[in-house]
Homo-oligomer: A and B are copies of this chain.
Amino acid sequence: MSDAPRVTLAEIAAEAGVSLATMSKVLNGRHDVAPATRARLEEHLARHGYTRRTDRQRSDVVELVFHELEASWSMEVIEGVEDVAHAAGLSVVLTVSGDRHAPSADWIDGVLRRRPVGVVLVFSDIAEHVRDKLRSRGIPFVIVDPAGDPSPDVPSVGSANWSGGLMATRHLIELGHRRIAAITGPEDMMCSLARVDGYRSAMNAAGLPIDPELIRFGDFHPGGGEHHARELLALADPPTAIFAGSDLQALGAIAAGSAAGLRVPDDLSVVGYDDIALARWMSPQLTTVHQPLRRMGEEATRLALRLADGKTPETLRMDLATHLVVRGSTAPPA
Chain B residues whose C-beta falls within 8 Å of the C-beta of A70 in the assembled complex: 75
Complex CA distance for A72 and B222, rounded to whole angstroms: 14
Chain B residues whose C-beta falls within 8 Å of the C-beta of A74 in the assembled complex: 75
- Nearest-CB distance from A269 to chain B (Å)? 15
- Contacts A113-B60, A281-B222; A94 near B71 (Cβ below 8 A): no
Return 15 A-B CB contacts under 8 Å, by A number.
A64-B94, A71-B71, A71-B76, A75-B75, A82-B96, A86-B96, A91-B110, A92-B93, A92-B94, A94-B94, A222-B278, A251-B282, A255-B281, A278-B278, A283-B283
- Nearest-CB distance from A163 to chain B (Å)? 25
Please report the total number of A residues contacting B with Cβ < 8 Å: 40
Residue A258 at the B interface, CB < 8 A?
yes
Chain B residues whose C-beta falls within 8 Å of the C-beta of A264 in the assembled complex: 283
Complex CA distance for A282 and B60, rounded to whole angstroms: 41
- Contacts A95-B91, A278-B222; A75 near B71 (Cβ below 8 A): yes
Contact with B along A276-296 (1 / 0, CB 8 A): 111001111100000000000
Chain B residues whose C-beta falls within 8 Å of the C-beta of A277 in the assembled complex: 71
